[in-house]
A and B are shown apart, each in its own frame.
Chain A
Amino acid sequence: AAGVIQSPRHLIKEKRETATLKCYPIPRHDTVYWYQQGPGQDPQFLISFYEKMQSDKGSIPDRFSAQQFSDYHSELNMSSLELGDSALYFCASSRGGQGSKNIQYFGAGTRLSVL
């Protein structure tokens, strides 16, 4: 079965650069979530989209922005990168925006290293 696809899998950037992470949800899933997992930490919710509209917002820095496109894929844009942004970024998708009864399926993550 098709899973959540994230690209790239690995990304190396320097401080103050920008980065764009992409997420392709499972077919027919209309909700996308972004999480950040620092080294040795649990995933922290950043932001979510349902039917191309932002539906919930967590601890996403102002330097980051995200959107969901008409084909339901999502992109996380990160600007003015800092060393502390180095982390594993997960995208998850689910079907149906309301209610967490819809299970979130996670992608393999994008590992961002900021040098």
Chain B
Amino acid sequence: AQKVTQAQTEISVVEKEDVTLDCVYETRDTTYYLFWYKQPPSGELVFLIRRNSFDEQNEISGRYSWNFQKSTSSFNFTITASQVVDSAVYFCALSPYYGQNFVFGPGTRLSVLP
């Protein structure tokens, strides 16, 4: 069975603070994909990143960075110098390499206060 846990239900930070969103996953597959999606108040789901299980290299994209650690089954997401526009619900998701359906975590609601 596959499962994604996002232990932080809600996080509030003040603008310009750094914030890390945690994601822990469970899978019996040896190959799989991990994703992060952002859901702003408008409701759409915005793709942020995909990481395959072979590649544990961390990735940085502007103010966003991701730390994938297979040994601890974690795929954490850090926003540096947060902005009010970062306020959203962030979902971590898991998919088998040869499957199609995503299993989403419960989401973390991030509020960035001015």
Binding site for B on A (CB under 8 A): 31, 33, 35, 41-45, 48, 50, 55-56, 58, 88, 90, 92, 97-101, 103-109, 111
**Bound-state Cα–Cα, A50 to B96, Å:** 17
By a CB distance below 8 angstroms, the chain A residues around B33 are 100-101
Residues in A whose Cβ lies below 8 Å from that of B106: 41-42
Given contacts A43-B104, A100-B33, contact A106 B99 (CB under 8 A): no
Q: Residues of A contacting B105 with CB < 8 Å?
A: 42
- Asked if B50 and A56 make an inter-chain contact with CB atoms under 8 angstroms apart, the answer reads no
- For residue B102, which residues in chain A have a CB less than 8 angstroms away from its CB? 33, 35, 43, 45, 100, 104
Residues of B68-109 contacting chain A, CB below 8 A: 91, 95-107
Contact: A43 with B91, CB < 8 Å?
yes
Q: Is the CB of A42 within 8 A of B104?
A: yes
Residues of chain B in range 33-59 having any CB-CB distance to chain A below 8 Å: 33, 35, 37, 42-47, 50, 52
Checking B44, B97, B100, B104 against A107 with a beta-carbon cut-off of 8 angstroms, the contacting residue is B44
By the criterion CB–CB under 8 Å, are A106 and B47 in contact?
yes
Question: How far apart sit A98 and B95, CA to CA, in the bound complex (Å)?
Answer: 12
The residue in chain A whose Cβ has the minimal distance to the Cβ of B45 is A106
CA distance A100 to B44 in the complex (A): 20
Bound-state Cα–Cα, A45 to B96, Å = 14
- Specify which of B43, B97, B101, B104 is in contact with A88 (CB 8 Å cutoff): B43
Contact flag A109-B100 (CB < 8 Å), given A42-B105, A43-B91, A103-B50 = no
Do A56 and B52 form a contact, CB below 8 Å, given A42-B105, A103-B47? no
Can you list 10 A-B pairs, Cβ within 8 angstroms, ordered by A? Answer: A33-B101, A42-B104, A88-B43, A98-B98, A100-B32, A100-B100, A104-B102, A106-B45, A108-B42, A109-B44
Chain A hits for B101, CB < 8 A: 33, 45, 48, 56, 58
In the complex, what residues of B have CB within 8 A of residue A55's CB? 100
Residue contact B100 to A42, C-beta cutoff 8 Å: no
Best-surrounded residue of B45, B100, B102, B105 (most CB of chain A within 10 A): B100
Q: How far is the CA of A58 from the CA of B104 in the complex (A)?
A: 13
